[in-house]
Amino acid sequence: MARIFYITQIEIDHGAVRCLPQECDAARIRRPLLVTDPGVRAAGVFDRVVQALGGQAHAVYDQTPSNPTEAAVRAAVEVFKRDRCDGLIAVGGGSSIDLAKGVAIAATHDGPMKTYATIEGGSPKITAAVAPLIAVPTTAGTGSEVARGAIVIVDDGRKLGFHSWHLVPKAAILDPELTLGLPPLLTAATGMDAIAHCMETFMAPAVNPPADGIALDGLQRGWGHIERATRNGQDRDARWQMMSASMQGAMAFQKGLGCVHSLSHSLGGVNPKLHHGTLNALFLPAVVHFNASAESIQRDRRLQRMAQAMGLAQEDGTGQTVAGAIRDMNARLGLPRGLAALGVAPEVFDRVIAGAMADHCHKTNPRLASTDDYRRMLHESL
């Protein structure tokens, strides 16, 4: 049986942040904790969100790390409880939104974070008691604003996923104007994150035709506009299109992801300084090539359909056309050419492989990867 569910209230338009007070009313949030990071605050984007609140009482936690940690969740929970907050507004990229989801759990549920991790069997333990959350993304990449999951590095060093429909934000406010000042390299990395979501969820074997359609449309928008958004950060249409692609990738990835994210999650746990979107961009070609022979990929002509959405020449079914186009796009965007450029050496591969095999995305790939398969993908991505 296929289970299909869509998803939450979404406001997408230039100036949509003005909707924030009414969305707080709808979610019955009277005193929110605003969760953000130092960069968003320094750029002045955070101030625009505060202004949109129109004087509503709130508290602030602005120390979100680039990869959310359980320690940061605890620190934010202290502010949440000290100031008697009744909900959350996440302002930032996927890190701030995921951290806010962690706070939504930890402020209302007992025990360490790993208790609620997906691979620990914790999803059913996340209840409707979670604090309500509104997401205001300031990047176009992760799509966490419409997703049921969060990624947090727990105290034992593992980078784990937390999944529950209770974690879906009550509203997602997508205002492309908040992304106009995003630097080119971050625009490229987050944009490739969105494209990876659209492609990897489209390759996932679960049955969900609406998700497939949303993913292909998101891929077409993202692929067609990422270079414009990167070259000219003030291109309002390109920013709108990338924000939509980001949202669509996450709306679709309830289908499941795969080896790209298994590897990115694991390597991001080994080295939390590495950017998740950049890692996805680097792993995507090797995973496309690995997936090409999967029965579901061949049967449903999924490589050919992705190639068409990307405006590429006919894909022969081996993955070479799509994989090569991704490598070329990464280079044109100025992203690193491989893991070695990020300082990743083969000495860490055993740890990365062990984490990838245990990751929640491992089993939803169209081909079940072995340790040797993961090692080949890592070497191919060097």
Give the model confidence (pLDDT) of 47-66 as tens digits: 999 999 999 999 999 999 98
pLDDT of residue 272 exceeding 70: yes
- pLDDT above 90 coverage of the chain, percent: 93
Mean pLDDT of the chain: 95
pLDDT for 4 equals 59
pLDDT for 172 equals 95
pTM above 0.85, yes or no: yes
pLDDT for 1 equals 52
pLDDT for 196 equals 98
Mean pLDDT calculated for residue range 180-205: 96
pLDDT for 179 equals 95
Residue scoring higher pLDDT (271 or 1)? 271
Which H, E and C letters describe the chain, residue by residue? Answer: CCCCCCCCEEEECCCHHHHHHHHHHHHCCCCEEEECCHHHHHCCHHHHHHHHHCCCCCEEECCCCCCCEHHHHHHHHHHHHHCCCCEEEEEECHHHHHHHHHHHHHCCCCCCHHHHCHHHCCHHHCCCCCCCEEEEECCCCCCHHHCCEEEEECCCCCEEEEECHHHCCCEEEECHHHHCCCCHHHHHHHHHHHHHHHHHHHHCCCCCHHHHHHHHHHHHHHHHHHHHHHHCCCCHHHHHHHHHHHHHHHHHHHHCCCHHHHHHHHHHHHCCCCCHHHHHHHHHHHHHHHHCCCHHHHHCCHHHHHHHHCCCCCCCCCCHHHHHHHHHHHHHHCCCCCHHHHCCCHHHHHHHHHHHHHCCCHHHCCCCCCHHHHHHHHHHCC
Mean pLDDT calculated for residue range 225-240: 97
The string of pLDDT tens digits covering residues 119-132 is 999 999 999 999 99
Mean pLDDT calculated for residue range 184-192: 96
The string of pLDDT tens digits covering residues 72-118 is 999 999 999 999 999 999 999 999 999 999 999 999 999 999 999 99
pLDDT for 193 equals 97
- pLDDT above 70 coverage of the chain, percent: 99
The string of pLDDT tens digits covering residues 21-43 is 999 999 999 999 999 999 999 99
